[in-house]
Structure 1
Amino acid sequence: MEISKEELLRKFNERSRTTLMDTLHIQYTDVGPDYLVAEMPVGPQVHQPYGVLHGGATAALAESVGSAASALHIDRNTQQVYGIEISCNHLRSISEGKVVATAKAIHLGRSTHLWEIEVRDTEGKLISHCKLTNMVVSKRN
């Protein structure tokens, strides 16, 4: 039985409770066969000292959405995913509002997944361009 899009998003958001995603108020909002979307509010709680979105908060958003997207493509009973490399190019600053991160699959192999994550403001302007590599491993008993 296939799970509905709404139920899948509800489960992702529920699993994020009491985690960094919860702390940063990250919410998963859309999902498809090769992408996942999450949003994060931007305000003082995620600012760096100059009053704009901290690159580390952006990287946390990107890794969160990319890692969750990988979870869609593994057997979660026998496998798990670990982020092993992330790179982010921060192209524009934002101080208030919301950013939307879209992870799109570049490579979905047996042992590694590669994701491109675009972080945009609500007007569609590119804030950061990120790349995440995840390692797929067998769960230990």
Structure 2
Amino acid sequence: MARRWFEPVDLDELNALNDRDMISRLGLVYTAIGDAHLEAEFTIDERTRQPFGLLHGGVSCAVSESMGSIAANLCVDRSRYGCVGVELNASHLSGASAGRVQARCHPLRVGRRMHVWQTDLFDAEGRQLCVSRLTVAVVTARDGPRSD
């Protein structure tokens, strides 16, 4: 697959994008950048478990949305466009209560106005925990935040 990124990006830059936001508080760290995919890891611990001791499904969704949004925004000229999530669906395939989780995000479609990104989460033994699909809209960049 051809390189998807609009500009070159490195792991330090990628991890700095999440500095001081919700995802950094969950312990997500980007570990690899391919020509058309991102990889990251986090640990199942007190930050990422639901009350019954398993990986919280909302964490899986947050990781998927964050990785897909960042990947989509890396594909466009950020001085002209931005990518915003419009739909996320996730299937939680297996539970896990401890250990490292590996996440891999790759494009299903990268169009001029819409992207679709799939994120797969696996435990350390290679069992798939979650598969999700994020649809993002490519919108014209705005100057500053909206006031309405």
1:87 corresponds, among 89, 103, 114, to 89
Superposed displacement of residue 60, structure 1: 0.4
Aligned length: 137
2:130 corresponds to which residue?
128
Q: Secondary structure at the match of 1:77?
A: coil
Superposed displacement of residue 12, structure 1: 1.1
Alpha-carbon deviations, 1:5-63, whole Å to 9, x = none?
xx621101012111011111111111112111111111121111110000001100111
Distance 1:28 1:95 in 2: 21
1:109 corresponds to which residue?
111
Superposed displacement of residue 109, structure 1: 0.4
In the alignment, structure 2 segments of 5+ residues that lack a partner are 1-6, 144-148
2:38 corresponds to which residue?
36
Query: Is the Cα contact below 8 Å between 1:12 and 1:28 reproduced in 2?
Result: yes
Q: In proportion to residue count, which structure has more helix?
A: 1
Distance 1:38 1:32 in 2: 12
Query: Is the Cα contact below 8 Å between 1:42 and 1:97 reproduced in 2?
Result: yes
Say whether residues 1:99 and 2:84 are aligned partners.
no
Distance 2:10 2:85 in 1: 21
Percent of matched pairs sharing the same residue: 34
Distance 1:19 1:47 in 2: 18
Query: Is the Cα contact below 8 Å between 1:40 and 1:61 reproduced in 2?
Result: no
Superposed displacement of residue 122, structure 1: 1.6
Using structure 1 for the length normalisation, give the TM-score. Answer: 0.92
Superposed displacement of residue 99, structure 1: 0.9
Q: Secondary structure at the match of 1:94?
A: coil
In the alignment, structure 1 segments of 5+ residues that lack a partner are none
Tell me the C-alpha RMSD between the 2 structures.
Answer: 1.2
